[in-house]
Amino acid sequence: MLLKILTAVIAVGVIAITYPYVYAQKDGACPKSLLYKMIGATGYIAVGVLCVIMTGEFSEFDKAMIIALVFSWLGDLFLHLWFHKIFYVLGFLSFLSSHICFIRAYIIGINSMTVYFPEKSFYSIGEIIAIVIFVILFIVCMIRSKMNLKGLMKLPIIIYGIVIMTMLCKASILGIEAVKAEITPFILVCAILGAVCFVLSDFSISFLMFDKRHKKNFKLKLFNMYTYFAAEILLASLVYFI
């Protein structure tokens, strides 16, 4: 019970530190905002680790999830460093790796329930359609909003979009099939809501990073970080239920 209370307190603390973090970096990244952000990032890793301790095991699913959270932590660090543009590249690669690890974890989780439903191909027709629609919509948004994306940046962004939509699809399948198997509805809530929050966060940060009109939009920054930290907490909580 004490571990559950501690986990809940840390989760609430991560969300609570969001406003001070965004306020501290309203005029740009600084050491204070970096400190706040990394406290929050360390918090969602702590939630994942505590969930592992509470379950009393460290399965392949748990390993993939913890590695994903660590890559997210690195992404938080690199994207906030203002010393050199190379950190933006490292941050991008860290979050890309994080989503790939989340996908691997979801596939492990889905495969662990093959007793309840037949094995599926990696991509279903529905997933392919959803990913294609998302990429088209994102490209349209980039064009209409006149985002400042140079030629070399467009392909990595599209690849990232495909990966994060794959993550959303796999999270949705994991949650839906867990409910069908009558395991627990909390998997559905944490997996789908967490993945949706991640997509919303990444979509909003694209405007903050590539659209000059929104670079100092305080409300958009708040939305970006609240959805991001909520996503990490929800996905970290999956470790407890699977």
pLDDT 10s per residue in the chain (242 long)?
889 999 999 999 999 999 999 999 888 888 899 999 999 999 999 999 999 999 988 999 999 999 999 999 999 999 888 667 788 889 999 999 999 999 999 999 888 776 544 555 666 777 778 778 877 777 776 666 566 555 556 678 788 888 998 999 899 888 888 888 777 788 888 999 999 999 999 888 877 777 667 677 899 999 999 999 999 999 999 999 88
Alpha-carbon dihedral 98, 27, 25, 91, rounded to 10 degrees:
20
* Residue 60: predicted pLDDT: 93
* Residue 146: predicted pLDDT: 60
Give this prediction's pTM: 0.88
| Nearby residues of 201 by Cβ (< 8 Å), 6 or more positions away | 224, 225, 227, 228, 231
Rounded Cα distance, 71 and 93, in Å? 9
- Residues composing the chain: 242
- Burial profile 19-58: b = 16 or more Cβ within 10 angstroms, e = fewer: ebbbebbeeeeeeebbebbeebbebbbbbbbbbbeeeeee
* Residue 186: predicted pLDDT: 86
Is residue 14 a contact partner of residue 46, using CB atoms and an 8 Å limit? no
* Residue 225: predicted pLDDT: 95
Q: Rg of the chain over CA atoms, in angstroms? A: 18
Type and span of the H or E element at 9? helix 2-16
